[in-house]
Structure 1
Amino acid sequence: MQLKTATLINDGKAVKLGWTTGETARFHALWLRDNAPDGATRSATNGQRLITLLDIPADTKLTKAEISAAGDLTATFAPEGKSVSYPAAWLVRHAYDQTPARQAGWLAPEIETWDAGLQAKTPVILHEQGKTDRAAFGQWLAAIRRFGFGVMTGVPRQSGSLIEVAEMFGFVRETNYGKWFEVRAEVNPNNLAYTNLGLQAHTDNPYRDPVPTLQLLCCLENTVDGGDSVVVDGFRAGERLRAENPHGFALLTRHCARFEYAGSAGVRLQSKRPMIELGPDGEMIAIRFNNRSAAAFTDIPYDDMADFYAAYRRFAEIIEDPAMEVTFKLKPGELFIVDNTRVLHARKSFSSSGTRWLQGCYADKDGLLSTLAAIEHGQKEAA
């Protein structure tokens, strides 16, 4: 990709660029200077800035904008008299000169929402393949980024083996439940997960701030009747609610719910966040839904409370719609991972006879996404 034109505008405070593809975009001089890729501005080793914004003159402007023989931009800045080259392809990837008409609740392009139809195309990888085939492992991680859910088979049936899986892409988030936790029926449990009761689809630990963004559950034994696992795409549920009831969707995004946990001595966890969280630009970025851990809602005005509860109820009905569910029974040596800010998980009730032993742990998406980005970067470098 090459540049074709470069025209200074607004007395050099910006430049308008045109590519050979016909695309155009404007860039502010101060933005270009702040993002200069030269060795005096950014470390060649790690890409981090070597200067602060205050090191750049506030009256920075462009005195020249020229196109090189390779079709890239060479920009000269005053008052520094500094010239910097910018690859045309980099500029088009980082163009911000756009005013997209985005509906509240929009999703990033790498996200694909789903319902029960994902059952036939669940992302699955064999444990040994994940360890030895980096390309296949990257494809699996990319599918988790896209769908928020994946399954690994052939995991060693040893206590704590899920930790090794988490460390294949990132780091374990240790909590008051420990580095990992046992999921099997107990007498007088400190959490309803440790019973044979069915559990409504939920995200884990909404009472934490921040919440663990990934959860892994690994099956070591399973001879009970029932106990099937269920996953539901909270983003798809949010899309359905928005389509049916825009006002109710807005209430669940605008007002905070409260969550709390006080099931263990010396532990009292509390948070206040919306059930459907949007970024400042309206992007849907997180779902928090856990009826068991919901505290009294006290941040919704009286005049909105009835409509808030109606939206909350409808959101719950959508989440529990069988058409939204992907259902499976974990076998020993199988593990599933969910994006805990997006995908809700549930469990069917199971018999009191037999054994059902799962272990769970938490991790965070930054590690997974970092490993995925490194794999993808390496593939581009090799291409």
Structure 2
Amino acid sequence: MLRQVTHTDRIVTLDYANGATARFHAVWLRDNALDPTTRAPGNGQRLITIGDIPAGLSIGAAALAGDALSVTFLPENKTVTFPADWLAAHAYDRDHDHPIGWTAPGITTWESAIAAPGGDWTAVHTNPAAKRDWLAAVAEFGFARLTGGPAEPGALLKVADLFGYVRETNYGRYFEVRTEVNPTNLAYTGLGLQAHTDNPYRDPVPTLQILYCLENSAEGGDSIVVDGFRAAERLRDANPEGFALLAGYPARFEYRGSDGVCLRARRPMIELSPDGQLVAIRFNNRSSAPFVDIPFDKMEAYYAAYRQLAEFIDDPAMGVAFKLEPGESFIVDNTRVLHARTGYSGAGSRWLQGCYADKDGLLSTLAAMEATAPEAAE
């Protein structure tokens, strides 16, 4: 609750009943005014440009209006009200320093001791609360299982329909993961696969991957997931210089498949935002192209950091393993969580289908559900 408001011609200072203080600049308040001539009532999009705000903008008055702030801007002589809770949620007068490699609020990094999050097929398709919890698990942990689904080809598309759309690639709307005589990708063999993120040679990469089981009677073929953010945290803590090398220089990735397909990307293995937040992990030994963007005198240290990151990723204490049964699936945040599989024999059969989707659709669906049912999210 607001207790007091003071202002100069450029800055408003709010004192809260809990002792907190927050300052807001006049130009920021005017740009974020909530009135219908500044923001479209239906979708909240801004109706003014930065050039529409007077260069000589100042604050003519600022006062409490119940548990809200009322501000009059000059020379427009425009008065706007801001709810106190909205201002508190958007306060920027705070410490902006973060440790390198920090993670955003709402993200929980993990190792093998985690209880794998998941949901039931029927529940997530019929119960909004179950669907919301499943989506929230993907957002927080970067992966979640789904059990009890139909063991029928194409069912994975119904998983994507829960939150968004399939992202079609050169592999099609979805692809088959089973042994092929002349495979175009090592995923289509019975070989074990090191934990990796998919398609690092794309720009942008698909941000979600769904793998759906139709048959799995072969010996082996267990699925494994590893939190790449946790591996990056371990590298940062053990070898900050090596962490900085993998974050500071781009790796190169390449894939040459069927005729007409040659995909290339140049991105760091550990991607950080300008303020040091962990944004993405790209790790895929099979698709790595020669590294040519690291200075000569740093190359050996770069490879040492690369090796150390791989050791953390391969550490059995990091991975969560499970064997999918027909009708079961899992989804991973492909910018964060690596997936792997153990090798499997020719006896029996293993048939999965996979597809890609985009995380913005999942996060949008989750945010909309939480906004319309806040009491259920508590």
Could you tell me the TM-score, scaled by structure 1's length? Answer: 0.97
Give the SS at the match of 2:317. helix
Aligned to 1:298: 292
- The reply on whether 1:45 has 2:39 as its aligned counterpart is no
**Separation in structure 2 between the aligned mates of residue 347 and residue 381 of structure 1, nearest angstrom:** 40
CA pair 133-344 structure 1, distance change in 2 beyond 3 A: same
**Separation in structure 1 between the aligned mates of residue 288 and residue 136 of structure 2, nearest angstrom:** 32
Q: How many residues align?
A: 377
Distance apart, 1:196 and its partner CA: 0.2
Distance apart, 1:13 and its partner CA: 1.1
Aligned to 2:135: 141
Distance apart, 1:100 and its partner CA: 3.5
Q: Which amino acid aligns with 2:86?
A: W
Q: Which amino acid aligns with 1:165?
A: V
Distance apart, 1:316 and its partner CA: 0.3
Root-mean-square deviation (Å) = 1.0
Aligned to 1:164: 158
Q: 1:100 aligns with which of 74, 96, 99?
A: 96
CA deviation map 1:199-242 (0-9, x unaligned): 00000000000000000000001110001000000000000000
- The reply on whether 1:360 has 2:354 as its aligned counterpart is yes
Matches within 5 A, 1:48-67: 48-67=45-64
Structure 1 stretches of 4+ moved >2 Å: 380-383
Aligned to 1:8: 7
- The reply on whether 1:112 has 2:108 as its aligned counterpart is yes
- The reply on whether 1:80 has 2:80 as its aligned counterpart is no
Q: 2:121 aligns with which of 102, 120, 127?
A: 127
Give the SS at the match of 1:354. coil
Q: Which amino acid aligns with 2:5?
A: A
Give the SS at the match of 1:204. coil
Q: 1:269 aligns with which of 259, 263, 272?
A: 263
Q: Which amino acid aligns with 2:7?
A: L
**Separation in structure 2 between the aligned mates of residue 5 and residue 299 of structure 1, nearest angstrom:** 55
Could you tell me the TM-score, scaled by structure 2's length? Answer: 0.98
**Separation in structure 2 between the aligned mates of residue 380 and residue 144 of structure 1, nearest angstrom:** 19
Q: Which amino acid aligns with 2:73?
A: F
Distance apart, 1:381 and its partner CA: 7.2
Aligned to 2:175: 181
Give aligned-pair identity as a percent: 61
**Separation in structure 2 between the aligned mates of residue 340 and residue 177 of structure 1, nearest angstrom:** 16
Q: 1:279 aligns with which of 265, 273, 279?
A: 273
Q: 1:347 aligns with which of 322, 341, 351?
A: 341
Structure 1 runs not aligned, ≥5 long: none
Distance apart, 1:380 and its partner CA: 2.2
- The reply on whether 1:34 has 2:31 as its aligned counterpart is yes
Aligned to 1:215: 209
Aligned to 2:368: 374
Q: Which amino acid aligns with 2:59?
A: L
CA deviation map 1:315-374 (0-9, x unaligned): 000000000010001100000000000000001000012110000000011010011011
CA pair 255-329 structure 1, distance change in 2 beyond 3 A: same
